[in-house]
Amino acid sequence: MKVAVIGCGTMGSGIAQVAATAGCNVKIYDTNLATLEKSGKNLEITLSKLVEKAKIDETEKDRIINHISYATSFAELSHSDLVIEAIVENLDIKRKLFSELENYVSPGTILASNTSSLSIASIAASCQKPERVIGIHFFNPAPLMQLVEVIPAIQTSDEVLEKTVQTITEWKKIVAIAKDTPGFIVNRVARPFYSEALRIYEEGKADFATIDWAMKTIGGFRMGPFELMDFIGNDVNYTVTETVFTAFYFDPRYKPSFTQKRLSEAGFLGRKSGRGYYNYSEDLPKAVEDNELGQYIVDRILVMLINEAAEAFFLNIASVKDIDNAMTKGVNYPKGLLAWADEKGISWCVEKIDELYNEYHEDRYRCSPILRKMNRESLTFYK
């Protein structure tokens, strides 16, 4: 299979590595020759590290490198079976690129976007053959993360969806099919992990370190929300939150936080700037290791996550299995949220979310109708 990847940043290079490892002939496209050369050197370094760790041998390293070539014009991509775009998250720029790209590839070429939250339907509408456009959303780092969200637009043909799922599965990735709605599965369902943690902080109930401690020690998450936002970058995380909030017509469930906005405006972007929620030039603050407070923090954030996952299922965004796979394989949650709901009890979920609504009377804390129905009928997500 001949694959083209547009954009040779961290994500584009990672996708190219995945495809080449699977035996595809890959062309990485960028208009900047120096950037392409840097991408090639970084790939060499990455693969050499895998050799050092005995993950692959020199023969495999050479095989992967030999499956990748570089291009600076769309004409060089004309024989591609699949093109995956991995450039800046800007809808207008992506639409312009797809419209132009279509003039160079064959009629049967599948055109895919790696966007994490933008409308696939809008991107497809810029093409003369919108039925061949689909979303293929990898997670960073692409070679390591198991999950790939596949997002058909309303224009996408069944044949293109089937071929895409088959291809990504052959690349040894776990596919979660998502409806073309803002944030798809992961970036939609994960919002409360950040937003509810920020809300708890803004209410003065706990500081950053204590909330992170609770979610890791009691909740079992690999990283706390503030630690993770600093790792991702506050500018990136805030932009996704703002995009999802706007795209959902300002639904209060996705309302951004002024705390994060101000940090982003101040240039406190996290690890990459040396300061975010934590100042990385100083010793990190100690958590208040109070189990009762920690359990309150975990329960509050967890029930909001479960409620969001349940709402995604209720609105046919994805199946129960795909939602849980997305959260465990895409962002390394300790359990699938809907499986977690069954474990905690649907009645527990309804009671906890209603407690929050009764305290705040904000639409942010409305309980998903599917949870109420399941509670009335004594149903579970998994039988």
Report the catalytic residues.
Answer: 116, 137, 149, 187
CA-nearest of 183, 181, 177, 185 to 117 is 183
How far, CA to CA in Å, does 135 sit from each of 82, 129, 184, 328?
12, 15, 10, 20
HSE of 90, CA atoms in CB hemisphere, 13 A: 6
How far, CA to CA in Å, does 48 sit from each of 68, 124, 270, 320?
16, 38, 29, 39
Yes or no: say if 115 and 108 are a contact pair by the CB < 8 Å rule.
no
- Helix-strand-coil percent breakdown of the chain, rounded to 5? 55, 10, 35
Question: What residues form DSSP beta bridges with 70?
Answer: 28
DSSP, collapsed to helix, strand or coil, labels residue 378 as coil
CA-nearest of 122, 120, 118 to 135 is 120
CA-nearest of 222, 192, 179 to 323 is 179
What is the spatial distance between Cα 291 and Cα 377, in angstroms, rounded to a whole number?
34
CA 10 to chain centre: 15
What is the spatial distance between Cα 284 and Cα 266, in angstroms, rounded to a whole number?
20
Yes or no: say if 1 and 25 are a contact pair by the CB < 8 Å rule.
yes
